[in-house]
Structure formats: structure tokens, C-alpha cells
Amino acid sequence: MGAHATVSGGRYNRSVKRDLNKRIMALPMRVKLKFAWRLFRDPDTPLFAKSVMPGVLLYLAMPIDIIPDFIPVLGQLDDLLVLALGLGLVLLLTPRRVIEDQLALLE
């Protein structure tokens, strides 16, 4: 695929993507939640990306999991995996400009 990654928001190299990830990870948890809420409310965030967020929350709230929570370690890992994949999908589907705008407002 080369040095560039294609995202719905345009083309940018991996170092820019890593920079965005670092900026998001550097936010305190409370601010990360605010960031997610702002992405969800932004009219430029695609509907499919918005629909992933409640889907992840519903999965985490459901008592039925892929791997039951009573199994030590693995039970919690599937929840973390779903959360990470869901958030990654939201970021992948959201235009880079929207992510950068919301990050700039919160930093």
C-alpha cells in the first residue's frame, strides 16, 4: 500500500495518523469522552460512524458477550477489543478535518 493510507477524509501519511492517535491518547479520559460526544454530534461525521458508537455501548452493556465475563482475563479482553475496534472504526470513517477540528477545540 506504500507510505500513504487512504481514509474517507482524504489521503495522509502514516506519521500524520500516528500524530492524531497520540494527540487523542494524550487527552484525559474525561476529555476523551467529550471528544467522542462532540464527534457524535458533529453534522459532518458520517451516519455510519455515528451508528458504531451506540452499537459499541450496547454491546458493552449487554449481559451476553462473545466470551463470558466470568472467564478470568479473557472475559474482559473481548470487551476491550470491541471498544478498541469500534473507536478505531469511528476514527477511520470520520473525515480527518472533523477529527482535527474537534481535537483543536479540546486541547
* 89 SS3 class: helix
Q: Contact, 68 vs 61, CB < 8 A?
A: no
pLDDT tens column, 71-101: 888 878 888 888 889 988 998 999 999 999 9
Residue 43 has pLDDT above 70, yes or no: yes
Q: How many domains does the chain have?
A: 1
Q: How wide is the angle at C-alpha 9 spanned by C-alphas 49 and 52, nearest 5°?
A: 10
pLDDT value, residue 12: 54
Among 21, 22, 4, CA closest to 13: 4
What's the average model confidence in pLDDT over 52-78? 83
Boundaries of domain holding 50: 4-106
pLDDT value, residue 11: 53
